Structure 1
Amino acid sequence: MVLYTLAPGIRLSFNEIYTSSWEKGDSSIFGERMLIVNFCIHGRCDVSLAKNRYAIVKENQVCISTVMPTKDFYYPRSLYEGIQLYLDLDILHDENGQDFLSALGISLEQIVEIFCEKDGLYLHQMNDTLRTLVKDAWDGKDDIEIGTLRYLAVRLLHEIMSMPAESETETYFTRSQIAMVKEAETLILSDLTTRITAKELADRFGVSESSFKFYVKGILGDSYLNYFRKKRMEKAAELLETTNLKVIEIASAVGYENQGKFAKVFADTYGVSPLEFRRLSK
């Protein structure tokens, strides 16, 4: 995470996170009354909020929130890339309209009223203009000046005003459902040699199989079968690159007794056979 202070009460960060969880960070970033705007480029972010709410921010979505995070952030697939604005409403109120956002016609109170008045949280797919602004800023993030970032903040907040006022229909999950899926993911990834069915896990957690699969898809962003197949193939690719294990040994290590079936799934995933993948990775 690279954090820039653009002015008192106005911060912008570029978030590159390649782990499954991340602490909510320095509490000094968060004032008593905050407006946080999150533009997700790749991956997903599940955020535990106050009032027992969770925000599940998906790829190409914008999340506008006045509800503060209360626990660590959770990143399915250990991937999240995005741009975030932290706007301290109390500090900016004390600026009496002298901050650069107000000077350029951006009313944060109006944004709060339109998008967050109902329940403090807004989620929606970015429109084409927002998506282009975010992508261009991300591509140029390694060589960017504060003045350019201030201009970016103004443009992003201005374009938000053209978004639909109502959130997209979202499914919100309880804390226990999020914890269930995280526990299931940890259990499976801790030993990929063992095959555990969705039914077995559902029984373990005392829910129906259909409910468990629904939670997995909603929280991890893919079906139970597809998500963990991809995880097995990612591990297989890592072993092919970093070890001299035979293909049949790698197949077994990721839960495949049949080498031919493993090779087919691997080729479907990466476009080449396991041996060709190993050759190309050298």
Structure 2
Amino acid sequence: MNKQLFLADTQNQLSFDDMIEKIENIDNRIIYHYNKNYMYGKTIQYEMFKGIWIVYHDLALKRSDLFPLEVNGFIQINYCISGRCELHYKNNKVFYVGAGDFVVGLLKNKQYKHSFPLGNYNGISIITTEEKLDNFLKTIFPETKITSKKLLLKIEECDEYIVLSNNLEIKNIMEEIILSNHDFWKEKAVIKFAELILLLISNDIEFYQLTGKYYDKQLINKVKQIKQEVTANIEVYTKIEEIAQKYHISSKTFADCFKAVYRKTYYAFIKEFRVKKASELLRSENLTIGEVAIRVGYLNASKFSKAFLDIMGVTPICFRKNNSLTVLD
């Protein structure tokens, strides 16, 4: 696969090779294992057809400042299994792809940046060019008049991106392309990819427009900054109304944008963050349950215990009993 498909964050001057710790070749598949200084997980890829790459990502980022750049001229198809991907759209707009979402775009005229706001991503990509897609279609359907132009026109009609959410037919096709254990898995992938292209250019599926689905980049950056400050001072419980007043942003705008970025409401996210922080303290610090509660912003120990039970499935006392660190640990 062309390494230019996954460039480094220019600010950090990281190369593709910097993030790879080990490469394996198994049954015509290339498996990239990442350097744990940057991320955990792996990427599996293979060339399904000349110039058509199937890529499976299972990533957990250790560093939040990794922003791979896409390169011009590629048709890219993405299906998110879990996690969340932030895609930078035109005119400083940003939109999000979450579990069950499917996106097709033509990367042209500029470099497109993406990142993973939840720190993890599991998904499937298919990467090719107009020329290689045309060669594929002529090989599979020798007498066809179908060309890549039909797909590109669909993308243009949808204002640069075809977007589908939780479509069962798409889900089945994408997962069979990469996860099949069939003896003829590569041949089956070719058939499923042809089926996918026919489905995309047909009139059987309605795609939704990005209008109303994207957010201004400056607003996104402000919400991320607020999230960093709130989580860095988790012992202070901050309400949305207080955030709105302090950061000069409407409560509704903040709430909507926060949920778009982090998939959860602000209050659900903070509740989970506080409990996860508390679990770390219970494992590593010799503090009472009440002291731990205060450290993560709960003034009422019983409310803290209930929140902990909701998230972790056990009480703080039971968690500490089963998870305390020992000298041997």
- Out of 253, 265, 271, the residue aligned to residue 211 of structure 1 is 253
In structure 2, the CA distance between the partners of 1:163 and 1:54, relative to structure 1 (3 Å rule), is same
The CA deviation at 1:120 is 0.7
- Out of 301, 315, 318, the residue aligned to residue 276 of structure 1 is 318
Corresponding residue for 1:123?
Answer: 163
Is residue 85 from structure 1 mapped to residue 89 from structure 2 by the alignment? no
Is residue 252 from structure 1 mapped to residue 294 from structure 2 by the alignment? yes
Deviations 1:243-273 (A, max 9, x none): 5544333323322222221111111122221
Deviations 1:51-86 (A, max 9, x none): 433231122111111246846423233232111111
Q: Distance in 1 between matches of 2:166 and 2:142?
A: 25
Is residue 52 from structure 1 mapped to residue 96 from structure 2 by the alignment? no
Q: Which has the higher strand share?
A: 2
Q: Is the 8 A contact 2:77 2:105 kept in 1?
A: yes
Q: Is the 8 A contact 2:58 2:121 kept in 1?
A: yes
In structure 2, the CA distance between the partners of 1:261 and 1:55, relative to structure 1 (3 Å rule), is same
Q: Which has the higher helix share?
A: 1
Match of 1:123, SS state, is: strand
Give me the CA root mean square deviation.
3.3
Q: Is the 8 A contact 1:104 1:154 kept in 2?
A: no
Q: How does 1:67-86 map to 2 (within 5 A)?
A: 67=107, 70=111, 72-86=113-127
The CA deviation at 1:226 is 1.3
Where structure 1 has 5 or more consecutive residues not aligned to the other structure, the ranges are: none
- Out of 32, 40, 62, the residue aligned to residue 102 of structure 2 is 62
Q: Is the 8 A contact 1:114 1:165 kept in 2?
A: no
Query: Number of paired residues?
Result: 275
Deviations 1:206-241 (A, max 9, x none): 222222222212332222211211222222234444
The CA deviation at 1:140 is 5.6
Is residue 36 from structure 1 mapped to residue 73 from structure 2 by the alignment? no
- Out of 263, 270, 274, the residue aligned to residue 221 of structure 1 is 263
Is residue 267 from structure 1 mapped to residue 309 from structure 2 by the alignment? yes
Match of 1:18, SS state, is: strand
The CA deviation at 1:183 is 0.8
Q: Is the 8 A contact 2:158 2:209 kept in 1?
A: no
Q: Which amino acid aligns with 1:157?
A: I
Q: Which amino acid aligns with 1:84?
A: S
Match of 1:86, SS state, is: strand
Q: Distance in 1 between matches of 2:288 and 2:173?
A: 47
Corresponding residue for 1:113?
Answer: 153
Where structure 2 has 5 or more consecutive residues not aligned to the other structure, the ranges are: 1-42, 325-329
Q: Which amino acid aligns with 1:112?
A: L
Q: Is the 8 A contact 1:12 1:85 kept in 2?
A: yes
The CA deviation at 1:147 is 4.5
- Out of 14, 24, 32, the residue aligned to residue 68 of structure 2 is 24
Deviations 1:180-228 (A, max 9, x none): 1111111122232222222232233322222222221233222221121
Q: Distance in 1 between matches of 2:212 and 2:234?
A: 32
Q: Percent identity?
A: 21
Q: Distance in 1 between matches of 2:226 and 2:210?
A: 28
Q: Which amino acid aligns with 1:33?
A: G
